[in-house]
Structure formats: C-alpha cells, structure tokens
Amino acid sequence: MQLTILKSKLHRAAVTDANLHYEGSIGISRDLMDAANILPYEQVDVANIANGARFTTYVIELPAQSGEIVINGAAAHLVNVGDRVIIMGYAAFSPEEAKTHKPQIVRLNEKNEVAG
C-alpha cells in the first residue's frame, strides 16, 4: 500500500501575475522551487488564502531570484495579483516511510523570499 503524503509546501506565496491566455500551470521562481524541493512539471495543489479557491496544476520554472508566482490558464480566474496562496506537492510513501517523513515547509515573506 502507498499513502499520499505532503512532500513540500510553499506557504503564503504572493501571486505576482495571473495570465488567463496561457495553456495552464503555475510558474514559480526557480530558487523557491529548490527551497521546497519542487520539480518542473510536478503536480501541485494551490489554495488561495484570500478566497478559499483550490486547484490542481503543474509547475513551470521561472527565473531564479525573480520572486515570481504566476497563475496561468483557467486558474487565473481564481486569484488576484497580491493574493496569498499555499502551494503543496505530494508524494507516495509506504506506511513505514510515512511514519518518519517530514515535509519540506518553506514560509515566505511579503516579497516571496524565504522567511527565516
């Protein structure tokens, strides 16, 4: 049996742009992807703190140190620039692995920089 467990999270990322006329995905600054151990094209869930909207998409890499969090495609209807979101990646673990797994949680400040 495999259990789906939180692998990593970017907490309180600020949306820097929303582009409706794009194929879809969430763009994340490469340094933030690295900090949270998120890979390009990885499936993630996104929860909008401002309005409660939740959606599933995949990650595309944006330039490192850009601080960008860009919501593309239909999901752009679910956010406004400046909204805070939680970006969550998951992985499959055996029950034994799940007992000791600790997710990589990265808290961000108002400039989308790693906070402390």
Catalytically annotated residues: 25, 58
Alpha carbon distances (Å) from 7 to 18, 23, 39, 83, 104: 25, 26, 12, 23, 6
Give me the count of residues in the chain: 116
Phi/psi at 86 (nearest 5 deg)? Answer: -115, 125
> Quick check: 89 and 57 in contact, CB under 8 A?
no
